[in-house]
Structure 1
Amino acid sequence: MKEIDCRGLSYLQIIREIKKYFNSIGEGEAIVRVSSELEHDNVMRYSTHKGYKVYENDDENKYMIRIEKRGCLELEEEENIFSILITNDKLGDADETLGKILMKEYFEALNEYDELPRAILFLNSGVKLFSNGSKVSEDLKLLYDKGVKILINDTSLDYYDMRKDITFGEIVSMYDMIVTMKKSKRLIKL
C-alpha cells in the first residue's frame, strides 16, 4: 500500500499529491498523512467527492486516512456543464487586497478541480485580470490551455483600454456572451 506524506503541505499541494497517485493507477489504496484536523477534513471531502472509499483511523492515528479506489468511474456527465461569469477583478466585497488574494486562490483551486467549466466569461472590471502584472493571468492561461473557453467582453476592454493586454482567449460581443451563457446548464457568477 502506498503512503503519501502530505504533512506540512498546503491544501492544493495535498490534493495534487493524492490526485497524482490515484490518476496513475487503475485501482488501489493509499495511506495519506496530514498535519491538522482541517487537512484531514479536506482530504475526506475530496476523496468522498471522487467516489473513493475512505476509512478513518482511531483518535491516536487521526491524521492518517486510508483511501481506496475500486472501480470508480470519473466521467463528466452532460448535465454538469457549467460556465463562470467574472464581473470583478476581486472576489467578494472584502478589502481590496484580500479580494484579489481570494480571486487568485479561486483560480488556483479551479485549475486543480477535476470538472472544469465550459467557459469563463469576463466583463466589467473582471477584464482587469488580464492586465500586465495580474497575478491571476497565469492561472487563466492554464485553464485556457486545458480547453476552457476564455471569453472577454469587447466593450469592457475598450472602456479600460486593455485590448493590447490580451494574449489568449477570445474578444467577444455581449451577444456572444449571452449565447454561451444560454448553452451552459449552470452559470456561476463571481
Structure 2
Amino acid sequence: MKEIDCRGISFPKTIRMVKKYFNSIGEGEAIVIVNKDSDNANIVKVAMSKGYQVEIEENDEELNIMIEKRGCLEIIDEKEFSILITSDKFGAGDEKLGKILLNEYLNALNESEKLPKNIIFLNEAVKVFDTNGNKEKINNIKLLSQEGVDVLVHEGSLKYYKLDIVDDFVEVVDMYDIVDIINESKNLIKL
C-alpha cells in the first residue's frame, strides 16, 4: 500500500499529491498521513466525490486516511468552479462604490445555492484582509470558508502590500499553488 506523508504540508498541496497518485493508477490504495489539526474533511470529501472508499484512523498526533480506488467512476460536477479575485473592489468605476459592491457580492455569494470550490485572492484583492479594513468583508469570507470553500491568498501579494494574515480560515499560497489550482479548476470566474 502506498503511503503519502502529508504531515506539515498545506491543504492544497496535500490534495494535489493525493490526486496525482490516484490519477497515475487504474486501481489501488494509499494511506494519507496528515496532522490531526489539518483540514482532513476536505481530503475525505475529494476522495469520496471521486467514488473512492475512505476510512479514517486517528491517534494522538495524526490521522491516517485510507483511500481505496477500485473500479470507480468519477463523479464529475460540471458546475464546479473557482473564483479569482484580483482587486479589493468590484468593477473599474468609483472606488468607494466598487468596495461596497465587492462586499455585497461576497454577502450574496454566501447565500447562493452553489458555492465555489476555491476563492483565490491575488494582487490588490489581498487588501480585503487588512485589519483596518471592512470587518464585514472578512466575516463574509469566513462564512464561505465555514461552508467548505477553500480561501487562498497569494503570499507575494501580501508581502508586496506589507500585510500579514491573522485569520486561521485562510491558506497562504504561492504562485505555483495558484497555477495548479487554476489548471485543475473546471470553471474559473475572474473578478
Where does residue 145 of structure 2 map in the other structure?
A: 144
Tell me what 2:120 maps to.
Answer: 121
**Which runs of no fewer than 5 residues in structure 1 stay unpaired?**
1-75
Residues 33-89 of structure 1: per-residue CA shift (max 9 Å, x gap): xxxxxxxxxxxxxxxxxxxxxxxxxxxxxxxxxxxxxxxxxxx96111100000000
Q: Please say which structure displays the higher CA radius of gyration.
A: 1
The total of aligned residue pairs comes to 115
- For normalisation by structure 1, the TM-score amounts to 0.58
Q: 1:97 maps to what in 2? A: 96
Counterparts of 1:174-185 in structure 2 under 5 Å? 174-185=175-186
Q: Which whole-Å CA distance do the structure 2 matches of 1:166 and 1:143 have between them? A: 13
Shift of 1:131: 1.2
Structure 2 CA distance for partners of 1:77 and 1:137, relative to 1, 3 Å = same
- Which residue does 2:158 correspond to in 1? 157
Alpha-carbon distance, 1:97 to partner: 0.6
Partner of 1:87: 86
Matched residues in 1 for 2:76 and 2:113: separation? 12
Q: Give me the whole-angstrom Cα distance separating, in 2, the residues matched to 1:121 and 1:178.
A: 11
Following superposition, which runs of at least 4 residues in structure 1 exceed 3 angstroms of deviation? 164-167
Note if contact 2:153-2:171 (Cα within 8 Å) is conserved in structure 1.
Answer: yes
State the one-letter code of the partner of 1:158. Answer: K
| Richer in helix (by share) | 1
Runs of 5+ unmatched residues, structure 2? 1-74
Report how far residue 168 of structure 1 moved: 2.4
* Contact 1:129 1:137 (C-alpha < 8 Å) held by counterparts: yes
- Report the Cα distance in structure 1 between the residues aligned to 2:165 and 2:81, rounded to whole angstroms: 29
| Cα RMSD (Å) | 1.5
In structure 1, distance between residues paired with 2:126 and 2:84: 11
CA distance in structure 1 between the aligned counterparts of 2:108 and 2:85, rounded to whole angstroms: 16
Residues in 1 aligned to 2:165 and 2:94: alpha-carbon distance in whole angstroms? 29
Between the aligned partners of 1:169 and 1:92, the Cα distance in structure 2 is 24
CA contact (8 A) 1:127 1:157 kept: yes
> Following superposition of structure 1 onto structure 2, how do residues 72-83 of structure 1 map, counting pairs within 5 Å?
78-83=77-82
Match of 1:173 in 2: 174
How far apart, in 2, do the equivalents of 1:163 and 1:130 lie?
8
Would the aligned equivalents of 1:83 and 1:186 in 2 still touch at CA under 8 Å?
yes
CA contact (8 A) 1:131 1:165 kept: no
